[in-house]
Amino acid sequence: MAKTKKEENQVMENIISLAKRRGFIFQGSEIYGGLAGTWDYGPLGVALKNNVKNLWWKRFVLDRDDMYGMDAAILMNQNAWKASGHVAGFSDPLIECTKCKKRFRADHLDDHSKCPECGGKLGEPRQFNMMFKTYVGAIESDDSISYLRPETAQGMFVNFKNILDTFHPKLPFGMAQIGKAFRNEIAPRDFIFRVREFEQMEIEYFVAPHAWKETFEHFVKEVHAFIADVGIDAKKVSEHEIAPGDLAHYSKRTIDFEFEYPFGTKELYGLAYRTDFDLKAHSGVSKVDLSYYDEDKKERFVPHVIEPSFGVDRTVLAVLTSAYAEDELGGEKRVYLRLSPKVAPVKVSVFPLLKNKPELVAKAQEIWKVLKSEFGSVMYDEAGSIGKRYRRQDEIGTPYCVTIDFDTIEKGTVTVRDRDTGAQEAIKLDDLVSYLAQKLGS
């Protein structure tokens, strides 16, 4: 049965509260009352986020031979943002209430006549540029203006020639980058869905003009494959073809990959055919030739671009939403995260059955060290009852717990417990590493 609005809000509140309680994500600058549109990732959040980024980097850079990794500077020469069209046009329509002074995205309001908060009269909509402006160096003048980048993409376009000159790749090839982006959103909201500081994972894939369609289709499949990789519920993902009149200024075709978040179906990722817009624009302003010479066909042209763009924070939100589950186990209610072992911040947790038995503690710590060197993120916990320890690991999505008991000392077996089913299995100590490696898919 479909969830009511109230139940959906409750799911979101539960996820936000779990994220804070268990050290995934905290409100930015919390002790000062926060800063709207910013969130801080704690130890488990950064581990989850790094796992997401590593999976992306592996699929799109390491496992391919046509992709060049980049890490460009966040601050760029202001002319880059003039050329890209961001200075003139990277804006959202803003509308302000004349009474309470609250600001809204005009395109998010059905009724422009009265304020949704206080009923006051709304002013005229105006365009608001979303780039954060700053000054580089000691003098604040028009010449020293720069911006915190609103997308990582431009850092790749301005390095296109560097890649041609240093690696001499043949078309088609791509550039890939993961990094921070900043947008002064009018109305940041929905936890980490719309924020002012976020991370993107982007690819600019350069092709001959006639080859754009097949490359676009290739990346539609790759986006879905990545969605499956990170453990986002594929049933909640749909494609939304952007109507020609709504396309961004650089795009001839865009598909938004949307996800059913608890607060509604909204954009997760974008895939755009950017044509030769960016290379031509940068070439025009910088006066540097950004064309490509096809040795085989003896032809010079400006490559066209297919751009799959992934938000890291929206990925984390979709992963958490897909994984969040409540059930009853052993007659008790529990909350758990059904995270894929590939992204789970902790892969395995190790417990001695009793913390006041030195022989169990010593053995558990010995096994913990072995598993840690094998699987990296392995936790040790001896506090509280075994049941409580299981619940704590369930809540952070740890796929397997290993308990060391008297059978470990006497018979050389440990108990491995599966997070999703709660089923427990006795495993020979000698087989433990290979058993877990197989289960974790590592």
CB of 151 to ligand GAP, least distance (A): 4
* Between 267 and 407, CB nearer to ligand GAP: 267
Q: Does 226 bind ligand GAP (CB under 6 A)?
A: no
Distances (CA, A) of 46 to 25, 35, 42, 52, 440: 8, 20, 6, 10, 20
Contact string 240-279 vs ligand GAP (x = CB under 6 A): ---------------------------x-xx---------
CB of 181 to ligand GAP, least distance (A): 7
CB of 372 to ligand GAP, least distance (A): 33
> How would you label 314-331 residue by residue, b for 16+ Cβ within 10 Å and e otherwise?
bbbbbbbbbbbeeeeeee
Place of tokens 């919390």: 30
Rounded distance, CA 92 to CA 96, Å? 13
Stretches 22-30, 196-204, 284-292, 348-356: which one binds ligand GAP (CB under 6 A)? 196-204
* Between 282 and 314, CB nearer to ligand GAP: 314
- Per the document, the length of the chain is 442
CB of 183 to ligand GAP, least distance (A): 5
CB of 367 to ligand GAP, least distance (A): 40
Secondary structure (DSSP) of 57-107: HIIIIIT-SSEEEE---SB--HHHHHHHTHHHH-EEEEEEBTTT--EEEGG
Degrees, nearest 5: CA angle 332-337-343: 155
* Between 52 and 122, CB nearer to ligand GAP: 52
Q: Kindly state the number of chain residues that form the binding site for ligand GAP, as judged by CB under 6 A.
A: 17
Query: Helix 43-57 and helix 312-323: axis angle, to 10°?
Result: 110
CB 94 within 8 A of CB 128: yes
Residue from 49, 86, 161, 194 binding ligand GAP (CB under 6 A): 194
CB of 141 to ligand GAP, least distance (A): 29
Handedness of CA 214, 154, 318, 258 (dihedral sign): negative
Residue from 92, 96, 202, 405 binding ligand GAP (CB under 6 A): 202
Q: State which of positions 146-165 bind ligand GAP (CB under 6 A).
A: 151, 153
CB of 306 to ligand GAP, least distance (A): 12
Contact string 68-107 vs ligand GAP (x = CB under 6 A): ----------------------------------------
* Between 156 and 396, CB nearer to ligand GAP: 156
Contact string 169-188 vs ligand GAP (x = CB under 6 A): --------------x-x---
Cβ-based burial of 137 (10 A; exposed 0-12, middle 13-18, buried ≥19): exposed
CB of 287 to ligand GAP, least distance (A): 24
CB of 37 to ligand GAP, least distance (A): 8
Residue from 61, 122, 195, 396 binding ligand GAP (CB under 6 A): 195
Cβ-based burial of 388 (10 A; exposed 0-12, middle 13-18, buried ≥19): exposed
Count of C-beta atoms within a 10 Å radius of residue 390: 24
Position of minimal CB gap to ligand GAP = 311
Q: State which of positions 293-352 bind ligand GAP (CB under 6 A).
A: 307, 309, 311, 313-314
Query: Helix 5-21 and helix 312-323: axis angle, to 10°?
Result: 110
CB of 361 to ligand GAP, least distance (A): 44
Rounded distance, CA 416 to CA 399, Å? 10
**326 token code pair:** 């409540």
Stretches 3-11, 26-34, 158-166, 197-205: which one binds ligand GAP (CB under 6 A)? 197-205
Using only C-alpha atoms, what is the Rg of the chain? 25
* Between 273 and 351, CB nearer to ligand GAP: 273
Tell me the three state secondary structure of residue 261: strand
Give alpha helix (H) positions in 209-249.
212-230
What does the binding site for ligand GAP look like in residue numbers (CB under 6 A)? Answer: 151, 153, 183, 185, 194-195, 198, 200, 202, 267, 269-270, 307, 309, 311, 313-314
